[in-house]
Structure formats: C-alpha cells, structure tokens
Chains A and B, each alone.
Chain A
Amino acid sequence: MNRKLILVTALILAMPLSLQAGAISDLQANYQAKGAGPFSAVAGEKLWSKSFTDAKSGKMRNCTTCHTADLTKLGKHVRTGKVIEPMAVSVNAKRFTEVKKIKKWFVRNCKWTFGRECTAQEKGDFLAFFSSL
C-alpha cells in the first residue's frame, strides 16, 4: 500500500517534467528531420548571450535584455515592465510544455532579436540549453 502510494505520487510529480520533455523532444525530433542536430546546450548558451543590431533602429538587441542572463531568475519586458517567468525548466515547471507556445515565441523573439527566424539548429540548441538549467 505504502509503496504503491509512493510510486503513484512519484509518477504524478514526474508528469510536468515529462510534458516538458515531451514538447522539447517532439520539437527537436522535428528539427532533426529537417537535417539539424546534434544539439548542444553550450551552443544554445552562446547564442543566448549574443548581441544583434536591429537594422531599423541601429540599437543592439540581446535575449538577456528581457530574460536576463540567469534563467532561474525572473525577467522583465524592457518596454512594458511586465514580469517574465523564469525560463529554466528546473525552477518553472510550466515552461516548454506546449509545442504551439514554444513555436510562437521562437517566431516572435528570433525575428525581433536576430532580425530573422532562428534556424532549426539554433532552435534545437536553445531547447537543449533551456532544459539543461
């Protein structure tokens, strides 16, 4: 009885993690089918800290501006002041559980920060980086 209870509890607690693992691995499999991979958290982290110049304004843009360099911490939207929940999977169980949501933010934020969509390789590396934290 006790063992069963522990097992069931453990399975339930593992669910959010498996949902994250599910969405991330689904997307990475998708990217691999397009010829990308293997994915590297180190490469993801490098890209995260890289600055890009916005063609229109001439200003520098960087992921850390809103999300900060420490992904276990809260971020803040630089214009609206809106608080952004941590990206790190280890502190935020809700992160990266929905493929649609991940795709949406990749489109928006890559275009805004890099001036273009991220490649399948870059996205896979980012996801490896986020799940390593």
Chain B
Amino acid sequence: MDFFANFMAGFSVALEPTNLMFCFLGVFVGTLIGVLPGIGPVGTMAILLPVTYGIAPTTAIIMLAGIYYGAQYGGSTTSILVNIPGEAASVVTCLDGYQMALKGRAGPALGISAFGSFIAGTFGVIGLQLLAPPLVSVALRFGPPEYFSLMILGFVVLTYLAQKSMAKALMMAGVGILLGTIGLDTMTGMPRFTFNIPELLDGVGLAPLAMGLFGISEILLNVEKTVKQELLTTKVKGLFPNLQDWKRSIGAILRGTFSGFFLGILPGGGAVLGSFVSYALEKRISKTPEEFGKGMIEGVAAPEAANNAASQGAFIPLLTLGIPANVVMAILLGALMIHNITPGPMLVKEHPQLFWGVISSMYLGNIMLLVLNLPLIGLWVQLLRVPYALLFPMILYICLIGAYVINNSTMDVTLMFLFGVVGYFLRKFEYEPAPLVLAYVLTPLLETALRQSLILSGGTFGIFVSRPISATCLVLAAALLLSSLLPMIRKKRETLVAEAEDDS
C-alpha cells in the first residue's frame, strides 16, 4: 500500500506543469548535449546550476536529472551516425552502431538504441522505487564512522576505475579535498586558505569549479585538435526494428538493464562502467563473438540499455545515503545543498515530495525521450552538421554568463577561468578531473564525519575498525588498493627476471 501511495504522490508532484516543463527542458538539453560532442552532462549541469537557484529544489533536481539520463539517449546518435561518441558512456556503441550504419542499418540501430534505453530506463526507475526505501532503513544505522569509511571506499572505487593512472586519480582526490577545505571552517568559524579574499569565505564554489574543469578546459583542448566528422549522408530510414532485431536484442537489453543498474549503484560506477561491462558480457555469451565490432545489434542494445539503467541506479546512494556514486551525482548533491537540502536517510521523511517526485519524473522523462529521439532524429542529424567553430564560442559565452550570474561577481568568472586553465594542464599531464570534483563535493561531509568520529572515540582511530559496517568498507577499500598494486608487482618481477636472464 505504501509503495502505491508513494507512487501516486510522486506522480502528483511530477505532473505539476512547472515540473513537467523543466523535466522536458532537462531531457531535451540532455539529448542535445548528448548528441553534440564537445560538452558532456557534467559541464552542462554545472553551467545550468545557477539557473536552478531561482526555482524550487524539486524542480531543479528534476531538470538536472533529466539532463543526465537524457544525455545517455543522445550520445548514441553520434556514435551510430558519426562514429564519435557524444558522451563517454556511448563509446562502446560506436563499435557496432557505426558498422550497422555503414551497412545501411542506421535506422534499426537508432531505433533499438532508443527502445532499449526506454525499457532499461523504465526498469531502472522501478528498481530505484523498490530498492531505495529499504536501503533507507539500513542507512539509518550509519553513523559518522560509517559515512567516513563509505566515502573512502567511494574514492578508492572511483580511482580504481580511472582510465589512466590510479596514483594520479588519487592525487586528484587529494587536491579535491584540499579545495574543499577553502573557506570558513563550519565547526570553528575560522577562515581557511582564503588569502583575505572575502568572496572565498564561502569556499571556491561548485559551479565555477565544475564549469572550469569540464567546460572551459574541454574547449581549450578541443580547439587544438582537428576532428574530422564523417557524417553519414544517406537518409536514415526504418527506425523501427523488425521482429528478428527484437528477438536478438531483447535478451541483451534485459541483461544490460540488470548489470547496468547494479553497477550504477556502486560508488565510482556509473553509466560508463555499465556500458563497457554489458558489451563485454554480450560478447562473452554470444555464439558468434567474432562478429562483434562488425555490426551486431546486440552490441548496440546492451550498452545503451546498461548506460540508461546505470544512470537511474546511481541515484540510489545519493538519495538514500547522501553519497554521490559518480561526479554527476556529486553535482546533484551540490545542487541539493545549495537549496539547503541534505540528501540521506532523512530525505524521504523530511522531503517526500522531492524524493518521490524526482523518481516519478523519471518515468515521464523516459517517455519524453522516446518521443524526442525517434521522430526528431532528422533534427539531431542536422545539428551534427553544425561545425565546432560555431559551437565552442557559444559554449564559452554560456559558461561566462553562467558563472557571472551565480553571485553577480567577477570573482566567479575569474575562478572558472583559472580552473579552466588548470583543467587544461591537468588533462595534458593525464590527470582526470572527475575524482577532484567528487572529492571536493564530499569534503564537507568527509571532514565532519572524521572529526565527529574522533570526538566520539576520544581521539582514537579504532572506531573505524571496531564498527562492522565501517570496517567492512575499509577492508574493501584496502583490498581494491592492494589488488591494483599486485599486477604492478608481478609485472615488475617478470621484468626483473627477464633482465636477469638477458644479463646472464
């Protein structure tokens, strides 16, 4: 009865005209930036953060969430038609999607991608609705030591999955924590590292940081390259997959949904991990694995389903524990805190309208996305023809105006620019900015949890290992760190052995 009552209450919030409008705006913008290479959901959410200051928190989160899962839909369009992923989670879709397009099957590829995303998104929302409330009761057993240890585990998982060096990802997490300490100490009121700049008393600001690291730096890096877009000139037709396509894809869609959803829940997981794992799984269980990469529809259906399911699953740790599973959720956490709402176990009790309203809006958002992505495919194809030379100045302009209107201050624009330059050099030197932003957002919670734990324990760190949940999280984190070192040790040993044999 509770489930049904919550379901209806959520829909009553989601169907309010303002929320419907912002849901549509969010999924439309999400699809747009998913289609357009050069800017991703993180940068877009950061740019639109200031827009959310003047609207209700529920509406703000509905819109920002729409951008996230909308981008998963849009990213498949460029992957299939141009062989350039619109955003990171669609990288895998390029492998078989573009090959299908070359064989004249762009329509079914786009169609199965949209339908698969819709099915996965819908199941994902159902899973979110069923799993979130029971997890809240588990989360109520979390105290400061458990929160601290879980956040540490989240950092380790995120860095473990870093595309490049884990050490560099850990470094970024450390720098993020340092940036998070700038401003007034919430416990003592003492200014920290503000250098007598009054604007820094409130800290660096999530919007300038994220816009700089993900928006400005992306522009600075992209303008250095000449990316040749080979847009398919053949007309895209036949968007509805045939019966054979469905027979081959439905299993892949369901498996992708399941794997993507649970991988999305993991701190450090998300749409990217979900898409890669689901593709690998399909290839592993296929009777014709050698055909993957040559236009297998399962190779499109599975990762597209997984990345959408993962984007729903990622909301679970945020809404129930207040821990963002990835950098996108970190932006959402920042947005909630800007509205003076602390996500966590008490969210469903203190703000039920927000909790159930956001979840219910995702059903509607998925329907809107199916409508946007199929009939409007012609529009998205035309947008792909817009050269980057016209796009990037507009993105830069939007970033500049977005940074200024946060506090009507040039300081935020300056900070955004500085972080843009920093982000440019970080990426040049192969440091990923995502762990930095995640650590930055988590630092106030992390510091509070650490200090409260030490006060509770009378100054000993034993409290983190004496409590079972906390100890489990720390053991898992240590195991992940060790397991990442073991291949290096083994490889080094093999290298040394080989060198010794050469010398002798």
Q: Are the chains A and B members of one assembly?
A: no
Residues of B within 8 A of A (CB): none
